[in-house]
Amino acid sequence: MPTARDIVDQLSRLLPPERVLSAPSDLEHYGRDWTRQVAPAPSAVVLPGSVEQVQALVAWARRTGVPLVPSGGRTGLSGGAVAANGEVVVAMDRMNRVLGFDAADRRLRVQAGVVTESVQREARARGLLYPVDFASRGSSQIGGNIATNAGGIKVLRYGLTRQWVSGLKVVTGTGDVLDLNQGLVKNATGYDLRHLFIGSEGTLGFIVEADLVLAPQPPEQQVMVLAVPALEALMPLFDRLRSGLVLGAFEFFTDQALSHVLAHGGKRPFQGSAPFYVLAEFDADDEAALACFEAAADAGEVADGVVSQSRAQAAELWHLREGITESLASRTPYKNDVSVRIGEVPAFLSRMQALFQREYPQFEVVWFGHLGDGNLHISVLRPQDMAADRFAAECGRVTRLLGEVLHEMGGSISAEHGLGLLKKPFLRYVRSEEEIALMRGLKRVFDPDGILNPGKVVDL
Amino acid sequence: MPTARDIVDQLSRLLPPERVLSAPSDLEHYGRDWTRQVAPAPSAVVLPGSVEQVQALVAWARRTGVPLVPSGGRTGLSGGAVAANGEVVVAMDRMNRVLGFDAADRRLRVQAGVVTESVQREARARGLLYPVDFASRGSSQIGGNIATNAGGIKVLRYGLTRQWVSGLKVVTGTGDVLDLNQGLVKNATGYDLRHLFIGSEGTLGFIVEADLVLAPQPPEQQVMVLAVPALEALMPLFDRLRSGLVLGAFEFFTDQALSHVLAHGGKRPFQGSAPFYVLAEFDADDEAALACFEAAADAGEVADGVVSQSRAQAAELWHLREGITESLASRTPYKNDVSVRIGEVPAFLSRMQALFQREYPQFEVVWFGHLGDGNLHISVLRPQDMAADRFAAECGRVTRLLGEVLHEMGGSISAEHGLGLLKKPFLRYVRSEEEIALMRGLKRVFDPDGILNPGKVVDL
């Protein structure tokens, strides 16, 4: 492998020199994502401006054996975009143009580096909606969203990113440019490679362009936050709300999670408190909301609650849920992101609670998540007096136990954060040996030289 | 390869002998699908009753080199389930049990041989909807629907089969059993093999079980049929209806298509006639429907129309569109099933009309389809005095010309019927050489011995 010096020289002949970065601050900035668990150590960072430049980089990597790490907004939480071993980071920041809009197809064609929030804004400007949404919308890029099949807070109504991608342009690990599905609704012509790239975390190819389908704007939304006295009430409440309202989100957090948001400037939603809270978003309907609330109160499922009466209030209520991650960020928590089938949520929650009480007696564990999708986020906080190494080892040990529970229940050890570097060791709790072998076979087809994001998802 | 006699003997030791069929009528019945273009010639037919039996069949096929053709309801229109070369047909008819229902997940677990209409009925019995629907619902099986990613008449609102499959159990070409995604909403753990099997036409593995997600029942639906005086009015009318109504279907047929249905007992919807008709289904709303109709009439987009006032009338109107295929069946038409992006529909329709007027002056060409998805079905009728061979050759020639038009416009030569045997020769008009090479690579990963549905989709 060439030296870092040689690498920068060679790359500066492939790309305009100002698109090749090697200052220590750049290497650190572009070499890591939001996981903050792995020390970044790329050889260089490049900012290609065209598909041809991406192809040239792939050809160079095959020639030299220096691997490439595709990089979007680096808001990932599993280390999928981390470059820790002298790789070259290929950041899509300069491929950030909207390429076109087709009103009949409600189709927005974008380059991979467009920020998620910009896609949402572009959709809104056309009276439409890009419905994939999550807290890191202001930094994450659409290419990364597709590479991880991003989920978020509106999956209940709109599904995951996968559902909104009608075309993809990719550059494979052999440098081929593929124009996949071309924005068609129907195209039954063999294996749908588009769906293979969605969620592949940059290990099969670079996503360089995408056709996004936009949805009609939904009616005005309202938000309610409800205080839930017992774990057992959560799923009956979910069932009640999805029967009585047109539900778009059913989010969940504990009183402990709320206390962190309140400590960071969040506003208490009502006087009463309870061990659990639910945030529900729905097609505005005051009367139906009140009826649901009253019935839930009568059934003992809720102890208190509030329904938004303005957009500003809805945003405030959303902040109680969306602000959790940020309120914990300074503690760099160890994170689990797990899912089970919706029907398994109550059983899983009790087993998880018992596990944590047994295994984490000394740690603060904050949990919250997208309960309507069976998806729970768990943040374990390191005691101030514990060394980071020992803490990580402990959390890894308990994650393996959690993996066993999930394996037994048919759940997943990574619901929406991908495998990256951090979750890959736990893959066998979700996917069988046969599946993992097949995934390796696929990797060999698309990236025979192993130059794309090595060490992530599967090994060659 | 063993003789047909040997094959039957060997299979009768693997499966209960009554599950091995070899009578000429069985070979003919199970050896073909609705295409009726290729003479069936399987060596035997087997009806496995369990996943283990399917595995045993795969192991046997690898040992003997006798290929297997997975077979559902055989309602396909591209020859994907045809066994024309001494293969063994593996019909899923006896794996037709509903395995379970989970109310919280709205998840129905079924074996692959359950008939589509039974799935719809099972959903309805639980107050829910299985929203994939098409004319062959009474015969087609869910495994075949998944293997072809079936579309149909409700794609506009509900998408294709892909969207409703949250888990798949498959037996690969190496005999491995994979339990894919297990009914989870969110599972970001590497390449989603489930989506690779969906639409793979039985060339990568046998689909043996599936988790289907059911939708809430929609509100009461109404249907309108509108007479459209000119091709140019179609897409403005689509835009008007999808703005003014909650639209679930936007179907299209020509006056010529209608005349075939009327000749087969269909009921004329209104006195007036027009060169084109549109059938729209929407959330019942008489007032909005009338407003749309009046505005469309004022704009010259419609000349006449009717809105259903009862379910019976809605079904009668639907028959005008759904009855077309049946009304032409006795003529065994040559079929094209093409798609373009919705915005390209008007340009495509004019180019297609010009092409057919030039190349098919002597043939009757009937066209209709799912215009809201950019999907058009074309049936070319053989003149009584023309030999079948010459007719097929002529249609093949014109299909290549049509393929060139579609290639230029970024469309597809098979929108929802799959490639099978009949469309495979036209694959290069939709998928690049690089894509086809990658598809071959995938085939090698899942079916290295080439024992699964050989000759379909791609060659090994």
Q: How confident is the model at residue B144 (pLDDT cuts 50, 70, 90)?
A: very high
Hey, is the C-beta of B272 within 8 angstroms of any chain A C-beta? no
Q: Tell me whether residues A148 and B188 touch, CB distance under 8 A.
A: yes
Residues in B closer than 8 angstroms to A160, CB to CB, are 186
**Average pLDDT score, chain A:** 96
Hey, is the C-beta of A231 within 8 angstroms of any chain B C-beta? no
Q: How confident is the model at residue B140 (pLDDT cuts 50, 70, 90)?
A: very high
Q: Which of A103, A412, A439 sits opposite B187 (nearest CB)?
A: A412
Q: Mean of the pLDDT values across residues A14-30?
A: 97
Q: Choosing among B126, B148, B181, B191, which should be mutated to test the A contact, i.e. which has the most A CBs within 10 A?
A: B191
Candidates A161, A253, A238; CA nearest to A207 is A161
Tell me what percent of chain A is helix, strand and coil, each rounded to the nearest 5.
Answer: 40, 20, 35
Q: Which helix (H) or strand (E) holds B70?
A: strand B68-71
State the smallest CA–CA distance between residue A263 and chain B in angstroms: 31
* Residue B437 structure tokens: 């090479």
User: What 3-state DSSP class applies to B141?
Assistant: strand
- Find out whether B135 and B325 touch, Cβ atoms under 8 Å: yes
What are the distances in angstroms from CA B46 to CA B43, B172, B234? 10, 18, 48
Q: Choosing among A99, A145, A186, which should be mutated to test the B contact, i.e. which has the most B CBs within 10 A?
A: A186
Residues in B closer than 8 angstroms to A159, CB to CB, are 163
**pLDDT digits over A329-362, tens only?**
999 899 999 999 999 999 999 999 999 999 998 8
* Calpha distance A234→B41 (Å, rounded): 58
Q: Which of B179, B412, B436 sits opposite A186 (nearest CB)?
A: B412
Interface of B with A in 343-372 (CB under 8 A): 343, 345, 370
CB-hemisphere CA count at 13 Å for A384? 1
**Domains of chain A by residue range:** 4-94, 98-216, 221-328, 332-429
Domains A221-328 and A332-429 are alike in CATH topology? yes
Q: Mean of the pLDDT values across residues B16-44?
A: 95
State the smallest CA–CA distance between residue B441 and chain A in angstroms: 6
With 90 as the cut, is the pLDDT of residue B24 above it?
yes
Q: How confident is the model at residue B35 (pLDDT cuts 50, 70, 90)?
A: confident
What fold is seen in the domain A332-429?
Answer: Alpha-Beta Plaits (3.30.70)
Q: Tell me whether residues B410 and A160 touch, CB distance under 8 A.
A: no
**Average pLDDT score, chain B:** 96
The predicted pLDDT at position A36 comes to 83
**pLDDT digits over B99-134, tens only?**
999 999 999 999 999 999 999 999 999 999 999 999
Alpha helices in B222-330 (DSSP H): 234-244, 255-263, 286-298, 311-328
The predicted pLDDT at position B238 comes to 97
The predicted pLDDT at position B460 comes to 86
**pLDDT digits over B318-351, tens only?**
999 999 999 999 998 999 999 999 999 999 999 9
**pLDDT digits over A106-138, tens only?**
999 999 999 999 999 999 999 999 999 999 999
The number of beta carbons lying within 10 Å of the beta carbon of residue B233 is: 22
- Give the CATH architecture of domain A98-216: 2-Layer Sandwich (3.30)
With 90 as the cut, is the pLDDT of residue B383 above it?
yes
What fold is seen in the domain A221-328?
Answer: Alpha-Beta Plaits (3.30.70)
Residue of B nearest to A417 (CA): B188
Q: How confident is the model at residue A272 (pLDDT cuts 50, 70, 90)?
A: confident
Q: Tell me whether residues B457 and A191 touch, CB distance under 8 A.
A: yes
Residues 6+ apart with CB under 8 A from B358: none
Q: Mean of the pLDDT values across residues B235-248?
A: 96
With 90 as the cut, is the pLDDT of residue B1 above it?
no
Q: Mean of the pLDDT values across residues A155-166?
A: 97
Q: Mean of the pLDDT values across residues A71-89?
A: 96
Hey, is the C-beta of B55 within 8 angstroms of any chain A C-beta? no
Residues in B closer than 8 angstroms to A416, CB to CB, are 186, 188
- Find out whether A92 and A141 touch, Cβ atoms under 8 Å: yes
Question: Cα dihedral sign for B268, B225, A104, A144?
Answer: negative
Query: What is the ipTM metric for this complex?
Result: 0.96
* Calpha distance B325→B333 (Å, rounded): 9
* Calpha distance B432→B427 (Å, rounded): 9
With 90 as the cut, is the pLDDT of residue B415 above it?
yes
* Calpha distance B377→B254 (Å, rounded): 11
Q: Which helix (H) or strand (E) holds B58?
A: helix B51-64
Q: Mean of the pLDDT values across residues B384-405?
A: 95
Residue of B nearest to A238 (CA): B104
How much is the CA Rg of chain B, to the nearest whole Å? 23
The predicted pLDDT at position A411 comes to 98
Hey, is the C-beta of B155 within 8 angstroms of any chain A C-beta? yes
Q: One-letter amino acid identity for A381? A: L
* Residue B269 structure tokens: 């919807």
The number of beta carbons lying within 10 Å of the beta carbon of residue A361 is: 7
Distance of CA A202 to the CA centre of its chain: 14
The predicted pLDDT at position B89 comes to 98
* Calpha distance B261→B269 (Å, rounded): 12
With 90 as the cut, is the pLDDT of residue A299 above it?
yes
Hey, is the C-beta of B342 within 8 angstroms of any chain A C-beta? yes
Hey, is the C-beta of B373 within 8 angstroms of any chain A C-beta? yes
Per CATH, domain A4-94 is 3.40.50.10860: no
Q: Choosing among A58, A184, A200, A213, which should be mutated to test the B contact, i.e. which has the most B CBs within 10 A?
A: A184
**pLDDT digits over B422-454, tens only?**
999 999 999 999 999 999 999 999 999 999 999
User: What 3-state DSSP class applies to A161?
Assistant: helix
- Find out whether B422 and B154 touch, Cβ atoms under 8 Å: no
Hey, is the C-beta of A306 within 8 angstroms of any chain B C-beta? no
Candidates A278, A224, A229; CA nearest to A252 is A278
Burial A305-323, CB ≥16 within 10 A → b, else e: bbbbeeeebbebbbbbbbb
- Find out whether B380 and B390 touch, Cβ atoms under 8 Å: no
The predicted pLDDT at position B221 comes to 97
